Structure 1
Amino acid sequence: MAGTTVKRVTAADVARSLGLSRATVGFVLNDTPGQTIPEATRERVLAEAKRLGYRANSAAQALASGRSRIILLVLPDWPLEYSMRSHLDELSLALDEAGYSLVTMTPHPGGQARPLWETLRPDVVLGMTPFDARRLEEIRASGVQHVIPPTPAGAASSADELGFTEGPRLQVEHLLERGRARLAFASSPDPRIADLVAQRRRLTVETLRNRPHAALRAEDAVSVSNATAKVSEWLAAGVDGVVAYNDDIAALVLGAALRAGVRVPEDLAIVGHDDTPLAQLLVPSLSSVRIDSAGLGRYLADLALSAARASAPPTIGPETDAHLVVRETS
């Protein structure tokens, strides 16, 4: 027996059921701006649409209202680490609660895929980092009305603007308080995050400035293949504390130290960054810097929604306070 085709419920069906005009029902279902529909009528339309099983035709709805209810987030070509996943989860949830969908894309150097801002017609294109002038012009030329940030990348880093600069200072000051004076900066070898690594290394050096009894004795990219050798070099140079770029790098240093019989934290104290679940699971557990990544997600949602709805942007910056979580490695 051939399958039967279920007829899609349309706005006309809802209008016919209620005895209202198709225009009135369309205004309600499309949330058309500028229309003064009585609240009682709006509630009747929405209740009947739900009862009949009406599902909006998103393409037609976007055409009618001029809004797709899609927020496109353009991610930099970075690894999707724990802190990034945390604020993406919060951003997606906040937008969903407001009736918007989050779509992400990551442009890659030399990539051939057609940009999603051309195919999705998003209400807002949001960048995790500022767009360069050429990319900004491409997005606007595609017809997108709202782009955040609205200006090309400048001298200030996005991390500075979002308040993520406290982590290295907390790492260094904690190690100094623990009596460690000869530090190493353990960085990531991933070339995609070279700018972020350089920024945290710079902040580490700045925090050590004017500390006559402390110094940065070593700075190296640490990987699975060289962690043991680097830890040995650091210990030979008198290093007694490690500022790690993130918890993954800190875990590599910790593992290499323990395998070499080094006492942690007695001989070598280690502090990570991002306070991932891994930090609590390691033995000994890892001291780390925790940043409210979820606060960044909520802030980005507020920025996007204010642009999509033509309302005032948030007046308070993201809640990205950093604090140190002290555990067994320091």
Structure 2
Amino acid sequence: METKNRRVTATDVAKSLGISRATVGFVLNNTRGQTISEATRERVIAEAARLGYRPHSAAQALARGRSRIILLVLPDWPIEHSMSRHIEEASSFLDEAGYSLVTYTLHEGGTARPLWEVLDPDVVMGLLPFSARDIASMRASGITNIIPDPEADTAAWQTGPSIVAGPELQVEHLAGLGHSRIGFAAPADLRLTLITEARLAVVRKKLANLGLGEVDHRTINVHDTSARTAVQEWSNSGTTGVVAYNDEIAAVVVGAALREGVSVPGELAVIGHDDNPWAELFVPSLSSIRMDIEGLGRQMALTALNAADGRAVPAEEPAMIAMLVRREST
């Protein structure tokens, strides 16, 4: 029997042994309630191993009614330290519950077949709302558990605790130190536009609530002199505190300030976001916002498990979303 270059099936095992396909299926699927002798069972298992039989995951998922796969669809963002830890925590939590977390980056204009059409996941999760086209593709593939809920407000993520908590703390910290003119340092990476704008909106709202002026917003490209230009303009406008999108942008701003002869934090205080491991090693060490990555990862995993189990109860937010880590840069 020729099985080279193709998947060995239960039918191949049955033909090789001269027994029924049903008997082989009962043995390989460990079906209960069947009166199959131990000798026959051992023959089937041995022959399946000899032929190189491997279970067909899609067929098994169809038989079970679920694949026990959670597909996490990532935006086309750089995978930074905090995101990596977030995914690792969610993956570990789901693994303990018997589920596999598979990540998939959705590239705008990509031509590859969407992974949800291939894996038949129990749940498809996204960090951002899905487009109407992607939702239609998922539903055409028989996927009913989609997070965020396609029927919910697509802009709700912009005011979620994981978006709001960090920028609010950044502004509160600088304002508490007496800074009344505050700038915002945004990354030039266009892939981050949506989340950058969401954080900037939080900064603007927080400044307004505190009775402070409009934020002095500058875009920083880590590969050119835009940071030095921004520092000069902040100095000229009287801006003395800067909220940075993340620690990388904060480090670039601090470096540019020192090169321009602007003391940190004496003339310009800078606070980052994410509390990367090197933030405390930087000179001067960077004040930052430490997100509860573990709590947020567990929350994401619990939300997926609720959906997979058909429970409408939303996962609880972590008790602590973010905390201030004060260091030398402020």
TM-score band w.r.t. shorter chain: 0.7 to 0.9
Residue identity in the other structure for 1:145: T
2:180 and 2:310 map into 1 onto residues whose CA distance is 53
TM-score normalised by structure 2 residue count: 0.80
Deviation at 1:165, TM superposition (A): 0.4
Name the residue aligned to 1:71. 70
1:36 and 1:320 map into 2 onto residues whose CA distance is 50
Deviation at 1:78, TM superposition (A): 2.0
Deviation at 1:83, TM superposition (A): 2.2
Deviation at 1:306, TM superposition (A): 2.4
Could you tell me which runs of 5 or more consecutive residues in structure 1 were left unpaired when the two chains were aligned.
Answer: 1-7, 13-20, 30-34, 38-44
1:110 and 1:206 map into 2 onto residues whose CA distance is 34
1:297 and 2:292 are equivalent in the alignment:
no
Name the residue aligned to 1:264. 264
* Contact 2:306/2:315 (8 A) holds in 1: no
Name the residue aligned to 2:16. none
* Contact 2:71/2:103 (8 A) holds in 1: yes
Q: Deviations over 1:118-143 (max 9, x none)?
A: 11111211122122333212101111
Could you tell me which runs of 5 or more consecutive residues in structure 2 were left unpaired when the two chains were aligned.
Answer: 1-7, 14-22, 35-40
State which drifts further: 285-294 or 93-102. 93-102
1:150 and 2:160 are equivalent in the alignment:
no
* Contact 1:299/1:318 (8 A) holds in 2: yes
State which drifts further: 302-311 or 124-133. 302-311
1:189 and 2:185 are equivalent in the alignment:
no
Name the residue aligned to 2:116. 117
SS in structure 2 opposite 1:164?
helix
Name the residue aligned to 2:87. 88
Deviation at 1:320, TM superposition (A): 5.4
* Residues 104, 211 of structure 1: alpha-carbon distance in 2 compared, 3 angstrom cutoff: closer
* Contact 1:265/1:329 (8 A) holds in 2: yes
Name the residue aligned to 1:222. 220
SS in structure 2 opposite 1:199?
helix
Name the residue aligned to 1:138. 137
2:142 and 2:312 map into 1 onto residues whose CA distance is 22
Identity %: 49
Residue identity in the other structure for 2:184: F
* Contact 1:163/1:320 (8 A) holds in 2: no
* Residues 70, 211 of structure 1: alpha-carbon distance in 2 compared, 3 angstrom cutoff: closer
Name the residue aligned to 1:202. 201
State which drifts further: 255-264 or 215-224. 215-224
State which drifts further: 136-145 or 156-165. 156-165
Residue identity in the other structure for 2:237: A
* Contact 1:164/1:320 (8 A) holds in 2: no
SS in structure 2 opposite 1:73?
strand
Name the residue aligned to 2:287. 287
TM-score normalised by structure 1 residue count: 0.80
Name the residue aligned to 1:249. 249
Q: Deviations over 1:60-99 (max 9, x none)?
A: 4223212222111111222222222121111111122222
Residue identity in the other structure for 1:269: A
Name the residue aligned to 2:37. none
SS in structure 2 opposite 1:102?
strand
Equivalent residues, number: 303
Deviation at 1:223, TM superposition (A): 1.6
SS in structure 2 opposite 1:74?
strand
Residue identity in the other structure for 1:273: H
Residue identity in the other structure for 2:159: D
Q: Deviations over 1:149-194 (max 9, x none)?
A: 2324635331423542022221112112212222111111111121
Name the residue aligned to 2:20. none
Residue identity in the other structure for 2:62: L
2:246 and 2:275 map into 1 onto residues whose CA distance is 8
* Residues 228, 167 of structure 1: alpha-carbon distance in 2 compared, 3 angstrom cutoff: same
Name the residue aligned to 1:178. 177
2:215 and 2:199 map into 1 onto residues whose CA distance is 16
1:147 and 1:102 map into 2 onto residues whose CA distance is 15
* Contact 1:70/1:123 (8 A) holds in 2: yes
